[in-house]
Amino acid sequence: MRIFRHYEGLPEDYRQAVIAVGNFDGVHLGHQGVIQEAGRIAAANNVPWGVMTFEPHPRMYFKPGQPSFRITPLRAKSHAVGTLDVDFMVVLRFDEDLATMAAEQFIQHVLVDNLGVYHVVCGYDFSFGKGAAGNCELLLHMGMEAGFGMTAVGAIDDSTGKPYSSTRVREYLAAGDPRSAARLLDRPFEISGRVSHGDKRGRTIGFPTANVHLEDYMEPARGVYAIRAAIDTGDEPVWLDGVANLGIRPMFETPESVLEVYIFDFAEDLYDRHLRVQLVEYLRPELMLDGLDALKSQIAKDCDQARDILK
């Protein structure tokens, strides 16, 4: 999948495409339904298939300084969208110019003049443009005038009759229920980031860890997880089993939450490499233990439990 960080001057091969438009934070099964509907229309008409999204998330632009709520920052979102076999993704920078652009101007300037869209697909509740004045009805009306098609996809429900939503994913993760979040995402929730240098205390007790900061990710429930991890090389990931602590390590008073990853039977140097970490199952909350011996014993128990789960 090719990624464009602009909408002007796209190669001709990517014009006249069917494009799914939305924020798609999480790329959950509801989002996938919208994106795959665009794929079906593209395949039926033998035209390119694309996704358009916005970065940063508009909520971060309008309400800066709040704790991050993102399920899929851009790197994670591109991984998730890429697995759907989409041809390309257009990532629009959400800044003052875009935030103050009238909905009609967005359609004419971005979708028509620059992308020359063949068809637009979005969720039924998608809004855009200054003051969120643009909606599906406006897209349909202007599409008829400008010569592009438009499809609005209704809410998609899971087996319980509840619609897939990013809010539900966040609620499950905050409650320490990554398996339920995974059912909505159709994959385990993952945190990815560059491995940073820590205090190297883990290696002194026999459990060397790779530290990954949350940065733009929402913070799931603090505690210990059974995980799978892969080095992000750009190729097909090779997932390795392990265990991780997410939190502030109450015994050592870490100033901010960090994901500390211990990969089983692994000895390579991971510093400064990009690591993808899937949270598979929540094992326990963080604990204040009585010294390093108690910590080593507890980590060994966590590893045994994680190995059993990951079998």
Say what percent of the chain tops pLDDT 90: 84
- In this structure, are strands 49-55 and 18-21 parallel, antiparallel, or unpaired? parallel
Ranges in the chain annotated CATH 2.40.30.30:
188-310
Which phi and psi angles does 169 have, rounded to 5°? -60, -45
Judged against a pLDDT cut of 80, whether residue 254 lies above it is answered with no
Judged against a pLDDT cut of 60, whether residue 202 lies above it is answered with no
Q: Is 195 helix (H, G, I), strand (E, B) or coil?
A: coil
- Measure the CA–CA gap between 21 and 14, rounded to whole angstroms: 15
Q: Tokens 């439990």 sit at which residue?
A: 305
Name the helix (H) or strand (E) containing 297.
helix 292-310
Say what percent of the chain tops pLDDT 70: 95
Domain 2-153 falls under CATH 3.40.50.620: yes
Report the b/e string of 92-115 with b at 16+ CB within 10 A: bebeeebeebebeebbeebbbebb
Q: Contact 21/106 with Cβ under 8 angstroms?
A: no
DSSP 244: E
Q: What tokens appear for 156 in the block?
A: 């998609």
Q: Is 53 left (phi over 0), alpha (psi -120 to 50) or beta?
A: beta
Ranges in the chain annotated CATH 3.40.50.620:
2-153
Judged against a pLDDT cut of 90, whether residue 206 lies above it is answered with no
Question: In the predicted model, what is the mean pLDDT of residues 16-27?
Answer: 97
pLDDT value of residue 285: 95
pLDDT value of residue 290: 75
The average confidence (pLDDT) of the chain is 93
Judged against a pLDDT cut of 80, whether residue 166 lies above it is answered with yes
- Measure the CA–CA gap between 112 and 105, rounded to whole angstroms: 10
pLDDT value of residue 197: 78
CATH for the stretch 188-310: 2.40.30.30
Question: In the predicted model, what is the mean pLDDT of residues 139-155?
Answer: 97
pLDDT value of residue 198: 66
Contacts of 268 (CB under 8 A, 6+ apart): none
